[in-house]
Amino acid sequence: MENRDFSRILAETADLMEIAGDDGFRIRSYRNGAATIESYPERISDILASPERKITDVPGIGKGLAVVLHEIETTGSCERRDELLQKFPAAALDFLQIQGLGPKSVALLFEHFKVQTIDDLEKLCLEKKLRELPRMGAKLEEKVLRGIAQFREHKGRFLLNVADAAAQEIIASLEGIEGIEAVTTAGSLRRGKETIGDVDLLVTGPAAALALDRVASGPRVYEVLGRGSNKTSVKLGREGLQVDVRALDSSSFGAALQYFTGSKEHNVALRQRAVRMGLKLSEYGLFKVDAATGAETKIAGESEEGVYAALGLDWIPPELRENNGEIELAEAHKLPKLIRLADIRGDLHMHTTSSDGRGTLEEMAEAARALGYEYIAITDHSKAMAMTGGLDEKRVTDFARAVRRINETGDLGIRIFSGLECDILKDGVMDIAEDALAELDIVIGSVHSHMNLEAAAMTDRLLAALESPHLTALGHPTGRLLLHRDPFPFDFDVVIGDAVSRGVWLEINASPERLDLSAAHVRAARARGAKFLIDTDAHHPKSLANMRYGILTARRGGLEAHDVVNTFSLKHFAAALRRHQTHQ
Ligand code: DGT
Ligand code: CA
Ligand code: CA
Ligand code: ZN
C-alpha cells in the first residue's frame, strides 16, 4: 500500500459516508487524514509495520483513524467502506462525480428511484422524472445530463502526474537490467497531454522480452490484460491505469517510437505525405516502394530524426504532434524553439503556512534554491478564502515589509518577491484594498468562488478585475479542474485582449489538477500577444517539482522562452515588474 492508496480509500469512504449521512465530524476526520497522508513524506505502510513507531504521531491521525489505517493495510479496505459498498449500488462513487449532484441528492436518488447505474440516472432525466423530487427541477435535469456527458468523457482517463509517476516507476525498475538498451515513454504521455488514457512504453535491446516479464510481475500490477511475444498490457492498482509495454527491434526503434507516440492525427498526415513521396511509412520503418515491382527498400527507421529527415522534415517535438500545422512548419524549417524546463529561473505562485501551504517561507525558498532558481514569489491567499487563513490588509502590508527586510539580509540566498493570490470577488472587486496591494511586488488575481455565473457576468467580472491598477497576472484563468470541473464560461477573446492591452500576464498553472490555461488557450492567447508566467501554485515544497507539467502545456501551446516572464534573469524580471508598476 502506497500513501496515495491509503489516501484514496479514506477519501472514497468519506464520500460514501456523506451519501449515508454519517456524522460530519467523522467524515471530516477521514478527509483530513486523506489530505495529510497524500503529502506525508514517509510511507504510512512503513510506520504501521514498525514496532517502534506510533501511527498516531502523524499529525491528524487519531485513534479512530489509526484502526482504519491498519484495516486498509491488511485488507485493502475498511469496515465502514465495505458496509456502505454493500448498501449502495456498485456505481455509488460514480454518482458523486456527476456535476450538479451532491451526496444528499444522490442518497435521495438511491432511496426514491432505486437507481443502480449512471444509465438509469440518464433515463430519469430524459423522462423528466427527476423533477418529482423536492428541490429538483427541469434545470437540474439538464445540468445532470451535461454532467453525465462529461463523466463519460472523463471516465478511464488519468491526470498527467499519476500516469507519469507510474511510468517512471516502471522505467526505474527496468533500468540497469543487462541487455536493455532503452526504455522510453510514447503515446499521449510523451506528448505531454493533460490527461492520459493509457501509458505506452517501448523497450529495446536483446533482453527486451525479459523486461515484459518484469513488468507483468510488477508490485503494483492488479491484472495482466495480455501477454504476447512482443507486448504486454497490465492494469495497475484498483484505479486501473493501463500500461502497454512493447518490445522492439533496435533497427526499427525510431519508426516504432514515431508511430506509437502519435497522435493518430499526426501519423495519418505523415503517412499521406510519405505516400505522396512514393514512400511507405509504418511502425517498422520508412520504405521506398518500387513502382514497377512493388519491392520495398528500407530508407529510415533506426532513429526518429532519420524518419522525419527522409520525409523532408525537421524533427518535430512530441508536444506539437497533433496535426495542428506542425508538419508545414517542419517542412519550412520554422518550428518554434520551444521553452524548456531549464529556461525557468523562478516560480511565481506558491503558498506557505501563512495561509494553506504546508511549508514555511524559508522551506519554500530552500526548495526553490535547490532547483537552481534565482527568485520566487510568495503568494498566499487573501481573506475571502477564510478557511485557508487568507491575509487581510494589515497582514499583507506587514508581509511586504518583512520580505523587504529578508531581501536586505540576503540570508536565504534567493530573491523573494512579495506577492498575493488575491481573490476576485463576485462583482470583480479585488478582495484587498488597492493601497495594501500597492505594497506588494506581484498580485495574482484568481476566481475561487461563484464560478457558476453566466458567461456575460463572468466576462464583466474579469474585466472589472483587470481594472485594478495593481493586478500583475490572472491566476488559473479558466478555473478548470481536470476530470472534475470544466472551465467557467466567459468571453475568452475579450478578456485576453483586455489583459494584453493592460500588460497583465496570464498564468499557466502547472498543478496537474489544473494545467490552466490549457494548451489550446495558450496558443490562442499567444496569437493575441499575451505574455505568460508558468508557476506551480505549490502548497508544499515538493510540489515545486510540478513545474515540468506546466512546461509541457506551454510547449503544446507553442511557447518559446521569451514568451514566459519567469525565464527572465532576476535583473530583467525585476525590471519587467517595475515597468508594470509604473504603467499604473
Ligand atoms: P491516450 O492513451 O488516449 O491518452 O492517447 P494515445 O495517443 O496514447 O493513444 P493510444 O494509447 O491509443 O495509442 C498510442 C499511439 O499509437 C497513438 O498516439 C498513435 C498510435 N496509434 C494507435 N492506434 C493507431 C491507429 O489506428 N492509427 C495510427 N496511425 N496510429 C495509431
Ligand atoms: Ca496511450
Ligand atoms: Ca496504448
Ligand atoms: Zn488559486
> How high is the pLDDT of residue 377?
98
546 in Cβ contact with 515 (< 8 Å): no
For 390-407, write each residue's pLDDT tens digit: 999 999 999 999 999 999
- At position 443, the amino acid (one-letter code) is V
- Residue 501 and residue 366 share a domain: yes
Query: How far is CA 201 from each of CA 121, 183, 427, rounded to the nearest angstrom?
Result: 38, 7, 49
CA of 553 to the centre of ligand 1 (A): 19
Based on the structure, what is the number of domains in the chain? 4
CATH number of the CATH domain containing 277: 3.30.210.10
- The full 3-state SS of 207-269, as one line of letters, equals CHHHHHHHHHCCCCEEEEEEECCCEEEEEECCCCEEEEEEEECHHHHHHHHHHHHCCHHHHHH
- Residue 175 and residue 122 share a domain: no
CA 198 to ligand 1: nearest atom? 2
Residue 253 lies in a domain: no
Half-sphere exposure (Cβ direction) of 438: Cα atoms closer than 13 Å: 7
- Residue 162 and residue 34 share a domain: no
CATH number of the CATH domain containing 524: 3.20.20.140
Residue 254 lies in a domain: no
Instruction: Output DSSP code: residue 383.
Output: T
Half-sphere exposure (Cβ direction) of 445: Cα atoms closer than 13 Å: 29
- At position 82, the amino acid (one-letter code) is D
Q: Which of 331, 350, 384 is a domain's end point?
A: 331
Residues of the chain with pLDDT under 70: 238, 582-584
- Residue 530 and residue 488 share a domain: yes
Query: How far is CA 261 from each of CA 188, 211, 231, 275, rounded to the nearest angstrom?
Result: 7, 20, 16, 20
**Ligand 1 mutation target, pool 155, 196, 200, most atoms within 8 A of CB:** 200
Q: Which of 128, 154, 180 is a domain's end point?
A: 154
- Measured between its terminal Cα atoms, the distance across the chain in Å is 54
Nearest to 222 by CA among 212, 233, 237, 242: 237
> How high is the pLDDT of residue 583?
59
Residue 354 lies in a domain: yes
- Residue 124 and residue 172 share a domain: no
pTM assigned to the model: 0.86
Q: Which ligand is nearest to the CA of 188?
A: 1
- Residue 283 and residue 399 share a domain: no
CA 259 to ligand 1: nearest atom? 20
Buried b (16+ CB within 10 A) or exposed e, 186-221: bbbbbbbbbbbebbbbbbbbebbebbbebbbebebb
> How high is the pLDDT of residue 578?
87
478 in Cβ contact with 515 (< 8 Å): no
Structure-block grid coordinates of residue 543: 510540489
> How high is the pLDDT of residue 83?
94
- Residue 310 and residue 231 share a domain: no
Q: Pairing state of beta strands 279-282 and 415-423?
A: unpaired
Nearest to 223 by CA among 231, 215, 211, 235: 235
Ligand 1 interacting residues, C-beta cut-off 6 A: 187-188, 193, 196-198, 200, 259-260, 262-264, 267-268
Domain that holds residue 88: 3-154
Query: Ligand 1 atom 23: the closest Cα is on which residue?
Result: 264
- Residue 45 and residue 139 share a domain: yes
- Residue 324 and residue 294 share a domain: yes
76 in Cβ contact with 1 (< 8 Å): yes
- Residue 117 and residue 65 share a domain: yes
Crossing angle of helices 3-20/63-75, nearest 10°? 110
**Ligand 1 mutation target, pool 234, 264, 275, most atoms within 8 A of CB:** 264
- Residue 373 and residue 345 share a domain: yes
Q: Which of 284, 309, 331 is a domain's end point?
A: 331
- At position 47, the amino acid (one-letter code) is I
CA of 207 to the centre of ligand 3 (A): 22
526 in Cβ contact with 558 (< 8 Å): yes
414 in Cβ contact with 549 (< 8 Å): no
